[in-house]
Amino acid sequence: MSTKEEMISSMRKFNRFYTGVIGLLDQHILDSNFSLSEVRVLYEIWHTEQCTAGKLIESLQLDGGYLSRMLKTFEQNNIVSRKQSPADGRTWFLQLTAKGKRLMQTLDQRSSEQIRQVLDPLPVHQQEEVTSSMRTIEQLLSGKKGISLNDLTFRNELQPGDVGYLIYLHGDIYAKETGYNLEFEAYVCKTFYDFLQNYDPAKDRVFIASWQQRIVGAVAILGHSSYLAQLRWLLVHPDMRGIGLGKKLVTDALAFCREKEYKQVYLLTTHQQTTAADIYLKAGFRKTDAHAQQMWGHQLSEERYDLELA
């Protein structure tokens, strides 16, 4: 794991790199006579309804005097105009003039072309990786915590690479959160291997949740007979907990069981998985067995839960 100093150094290095990539070292940007700050202010005026100087100061963290001088120059050049609020004579709304709109449309096109030139040399999958990583950076550094189920994508067909990534997630998350050793990862590998050897979409189903092209949750149903199915590998990434993802995955999995007319569903877990157990109980499962067992570097209580669908 990186130290705080190493992380700071990495971020500073990235800042220097990306600043050079998009050309912000130039005094003026996008072949215009405007600085980055000036273009940023014009962009906010262009895209903010009933924009005021106060809103600009708050959203861009600008000095009031600096902004005032900037706006005065914009007005003198017929780029920005002010309109008094009909509801409050002390409030003045800022808006782009026709000249200002033409300017921003030109700069917007240049900006898109600049980014296109950065992305075009990369293969499509690398373009997706870059943009996905940028969305993640924005999400984390902006302090936005509002990820919901609506932000995720769901599918129930296996694709190449899915199982390998799910094995990785199990090994990584369980090692960090419960201290399971490599025996656990070997166990997960073997169970997935056995599953793939007999995988039949007509009786088996894997439910996968993704965010920005990365798997963040999954569960599977394995059909053992015409009446018996097993729920396996329920996993929710730590970043996605608390939004109801585990409940949705289990609900979708049981809906599939009913669709296939399975009569009974069971699952195996350990006493440590209390959050998952709560989901199972609320879905109608009941604990039917528990016995102590030494496995994965721990003394665990292996538990079985059953659900009658008939």
Q: Tell me: the pLDDT tens digits for 196-226?
A: 999 999 999 999 999 888 999 999 999 999 9
Block residue for tokens 């730590």:
238
Which domains occur in the chain, in start order? 4-120 (1.10.10.10), 150-308 (3.40.630.30)
**Rounded Cα–Cα distance for residues 204 and 219 (Å):** 11
Pick from 54-58, 132-136, 245-249, 272-276: least confident:
132-136
Q: Could you tell me the pTM of the whole model?
A: 0.64
- Separation of alpha carbons 206 and 184, rounded Å: 21
Contact 245, 236 (CB under 8 A): yes
% pLDDT > 90, the chain: 64
Dump pLDDT digits (tens) for 40-65: 899 999 999 899 999 999 888 888 89
Among all chains, which residue has been given the structure tokens 């009909």? 86
* CA nearest to 279, candidates 254, 301, 297: 254
Reported as a single tens digit per residue, the pLDDT across 264-307 is: 999 999 999 999 999 999 999 999 999 999 999 999 999 999 99
- Taking the C-alpha atoms of residue 106 and residue 133, their distance in angstroms, rounded to an integer, is 28
Alpha helices, DSSP H, located in the chain: 4-21, 36-47, 53-60, 64-76, 98-119, 124-141, 162-178, 182-197, 245-259, 274-282
